Amino acid sequence: MFSNKKNTHLKESASAAHDPLNTTDAGSTSGAVSAKKKLPAWVIFPVLAAVLLLAWFLSLFAGGKTEDSVGTPLNVVKAEKGTVKEVYNSTGTVESENTKTYYSPVTAPIKECRAVVGQTVKAGDLLVTFDTTDLERNNQQAQLTLQSSLNNSIAARAQNARTIDAANAASAQAAAQANALAGEVNSLVSQVDSAYAQYQANQQAAAQQAAQNAPKVQALQAQITSYNEAIASADAVISSYERGYTGRQVEINEALAAEDPDPVQKQIIKDTEDYNAALQSKSDTEALLAQAQDSLDALGVPPADDAGYADLLAQYEAKYAEWQAAYQAAGAAVPETGMTSAELNNLDISDNLAELAALTPEELLAKGKEGMKADMNGVIASVDILQSNSAAQGAALFTIAGTDSVRVKIEVSPDDYDKMKPGCEVTVTLADHTYKGTLDGVDKIAVPNAKGVPVIGARIHIEDPDENICIGATAKIKMTVAEAKNVVVIPTEAVNASTDGDFVYVIENGIVKEKPVTLGISSSTETEIREGLDVGDIVINDFNADIKPGMKAAAKEAAAE
């Protein structure tokens, strides 16, 4: 649109300024022509060529000047608010979520097999019938064997019950004895605690009394020490006298009787007097010592009364040992009495085997006449009796893949694992039919597929299967794995990438600028811009121009609209 305006302006300027014939004014032209002499033809053509050449140069000049002033016109888009959905597309295989194999209840020839691989069946359809001729047999021996086995089992269980009852009775008796002893132990515990508390109180009182008497005790102990020293001194005098005067009683008596004793006699008299004084001093001091000792004994604090704590503690320990022995006896009264769980299981197995072996001819005949019926809607997946006309009890006959509950199994690249969120809604397309689905399971391991590429298995449950479902067919799936609403979006092709990250070109004030952006969710056409752009920003979306930051540019109106 800008180029069209530019060209129109140039044409108007050329016609107004450079028309030598002045054809723009019809009235004035006719007057001028009639008044002047006409120019020869050889002059008119060169002049007209010169005028046209001049107009062309002026057009080039005017055009270049206009583009330089407004910049290069470029296709642009505006950043706008919108919704972006990332859709995951893939294909997978339809399979049944409920596949069941049917086993023969009898051993008998096959009369008719109506099961055909790929055939659709409904619940209740009769698929296999049996020839019941060979099911007639004698059940008397089986019944006797069954009754014998059941009787043996009943007897073994009864004996086991009696053993357990006896053991339980012994255990109950031991437990009662242990409980009674526990009561006595608990009673002694309270008595021991009480006595111990009284004993501690007595010890504390004794300690307080001893602290109060300590000064008097120290004084009396000092007196006793002094008295003992005095007695020891008197004993020394007495011992010395007795050593010197033993057997000299006559000499002593003469000295004491002499009216004018000589020096020797005087010494004997003095020693005798000292001896007698020492005897008297010792006697007096011993009396004082006895008194002091009595006083000290009176002040002494007797040991604290233990309030019977030691005796009660001994009783408690003895009774506790008695209770402990009774408690252990109670716990050991039933050591593996009766049958083990394995032995009881064996009895059950024996009973079941005997019952299976003793199925009456009527029961087997009834099962044979009933035949094999489908118990669900589905498709015959396999038939295992095609090469045989007889069936063995427990042998597989055919398999049905149910169609009431189906799924699509897909293989996911490990790179897309984080996009697989169980619960996501899925659109499943099978041939011309579309179904709603839900991603309900994703494996936790990647395994190589047939091509050796690691893939992760995932399953999509089809919510509304119908008769158009084909087990084993390939289905297309479309799943929205991410969605962002009311976010800034631009066309995906407008985003550029470099080693420094993602960016876009924008026009601001007529200048191209490069803006780094942070991308969010992308669809096939649009990309979320989390950071870097605001609503209304003009983003360049032009593949036909050499865009460089700093260049002048103008948005093309057609693209802006």
Which 3 state secondary structure label does DSSP give 529? strand
Domain presence at residue 455: no
Q: Decide if pLDDT at 476 tops 60.
A: yes
- Domain of residue 392, CATH code: 2.40.50.100
HSE-up (13 A, CA, CB side) for residue 93: 7
- Assign 551 a pLDDT band (cuts: 50, 70, 90): very high
Q: Decide if pLDDT at 65 tops 50.
A: no
Residues 310 and 378 in one domain: no
Tens digits of residue pLDDT in 235-264: 999 998 888 888 888 888 888 888 888 898
**Residue that is last in its domain, among 321, 346, 373:** 321
Give the mean model confidence (pLDDT) for residues 380-397. 82
Which 3 state secondary structure label does DSSP give 373? strand
- Assign 385 a pLDDT band (cuts: 50, 70, 90): confident
Q: Are strands 372-373 and 126-130 parallel, antiparallel or unpaired?
A: antiparallel
Residues 313 and 368 in one domain: no
Bridge partners, 480 (sequence order): 87
Please count the other Cβ atoms lying within 10 Å of the Cβ belonging to residue 216.
Answer: 13
Residue 232 tokens read as 């020891």
| Ramachandran assignment for 391, one of left (phi > 0), alpha (psi -120 to 50 degrees), beta (any other) | beta
Domain presence at residue 494: yes
**Residue that is last in its domain, among 400, 430, 464:** 400
Of 517, 560, 519, 520, which Cα lies nearest the Cα of 540?
Answer: 560
Domain presence at residue 184: yes
Backbone angles phi, psi at 505, to 5 degrees: -100, 130
Q: What angle do CA 67, 70, 76 make, to 5 degrees?
A: 105
Domain presence at residue 415: no
**C-alpha distance from residue 424 to each of 338, 354, 458 (Å):** 57, 52, 12
CA-to-CA distance for 214 and 299, rounded, in angstroms? 9
Q: How many domains does the chain have?
A: 4
Q: How many helices (H) and strands (E) does the chain have?
A: 10, 23
Domain presence at residue 93: no
Of 344, 301, 290, 324, which Cα lies nearest the Cα of 160?
Answer: 344
Domain encompassing residue 49: 2-70
Of 89, 87, 90, which Cα lies nearest the Cα of 480?
Answer: 87
Residues 394 and 307 in one domain: no
Q: Decide if pLDDT at 353 tops 90.
A: no
Residues 130 and 166 in one domain: no
CA-to-CA distance for 223 and 213, rounded, in angstroms? 16
CA-to-CA distance for 58 and 49, rounded, in angstroms? 14
Residues 196 and 241 in one domain: yes
Per the model's pLDDT, the better-predicted residue between 359 and 344 turns out to be 344
Q: Decide if pLDDT at 456 tops 90.
A: yes
Give the mean model confidence (pLDDT) for residues 479-506. 92
Per the model's pLDDT, the better-predicted residue between 552 and 326 turns out to be 552
Give the mean model confidence (pLDDT) for residues 16-33. 36
Residues 6+ away with beta carbon under 8 Å from 40: none
- Domain of residue 489, CATH code: 2.40.420.20
User: Which H/E stretch holds residue 170?
Assistant: helix 140-245
- Assign 53 a pLDDT band (cuts: 50, 70, 90): low
HSE-up (13 A, CA, CB side) for residue 471: 22
Q: Decide if pLDDT at 94 tops 90.
A: yes
Rg (CA), the chain: 63
Most confident of 111-115, 295-299, 468-472: 468-472
Average of per-residue pLDDT values in the chain: 81
Taking the model in full, what pTM does it have? 0.45
Q: What is the DSSP string of 180-214?
A: HHHHHHHHHHHHHHHHHHHHHHHHHHHHHHHHHHH
Please count the other Cβ atoms lying within 10 Å of the Cβ belonging to residue 311.
Answer: 12
Residue 267 tokens read as 């010494």
Residue type, 145: T
Give the mean model confidence (pLDDT) for residues 521-532. 91
Alpha helices in 381-425 (DSSP H): none
Q: What is the pLDDT of residue 18?
A: 35
Residues 363 and 505 in one domain: no
Q: Decide if pLDDT at 371 tops 70.
A: yes
**C-alpha distance from residue 388 to each of 211, 382, 517 (Å):** 112, 14, 72
- Assign 3 a pLDDT band (cuts: 50, 70, 90): very low
Tens digits of residue pLDDT in 196-240: 888 788 778 778 877 887 888 888 889 889 989 999 999 999 998
Bridge partners, 448 (sequence order): 454
CA-to-CA distance for 94 and 561, rounded, in angstroms? 47
Domain presence at residue 55: yes
CA-to-CA distance for 94 and 468, rounded, in angstroms? 12
Q: What is the DSSP string of 100-131?
A: EEEE-SS-EEEEEE---TT-EE-TT-EEEEE-
Q: What is the pLDDT of residue 5?
A: 33
| Ramachandran assignment for 108, one of left (phi > 0), alpha (psi -120 to 50 degrees), beta (any other) | beta
Q: What is the pLDDT of residue 266?
A: 85
Give the mean model confidence (pLDDT) for residues 67-79. 80
Residues 6+ away with beta carbon under 8 Å from 437: 407, 408, 425, 426, 427, 428, 460, 461, 462, 463, 477
Residues 6+ away with beta carbon under 8 Å from 442: 412, 417, 420, 422, 456, 457, 458, 459
CA-to-CA distance for 128 and 115, rounded, in angstroms? 7
Domain presence at residue 380: yes
Residues 37 and 81 in one domain: no
Please count the other Cβ atoms lying within 10 Å of the Cβ belonging to residue 325.
Answer: 13
Q: What is the pLDDT of residue 336?
A: 61
DSSP 456: E
Bridge partners, 398 (sequence order): 102, 383
Per the model's pLDDT, the better-predicted residue between 319 and 489 turns out to be 489
Q: What is the pLDDT of residue 514?
A: 94
Q: Determine the angle formed by the axes of helices 140-245 and 249-257, rounding to 10 degrees.
A: 50
Residues 250 and 207 in one domain: yes
CA-to-CA distance for 554 and 189, rounded, in angstroms? 102
- Assign 50 a pLDDT band (cuts: 50, 70, 90): low
Domain presence at residue 174: yes
Tens digits of residue pLDDT in 398-426: 899 998 999 999 999 998 898 888 998 99
Residues 25 and 45 in one domain: yes
CA-to-CA distance for 18 and 16, rounded, in angstroms? 6
Residue 532 tokens read as 């870097």
Residues 372 and 282 in one domain: no
Backbone angles phi, psi at 264, to 5 degrees: -65, -45
Residues 292 and 268 in one domain: yes
Residues 168 and 224 in one domain: yes
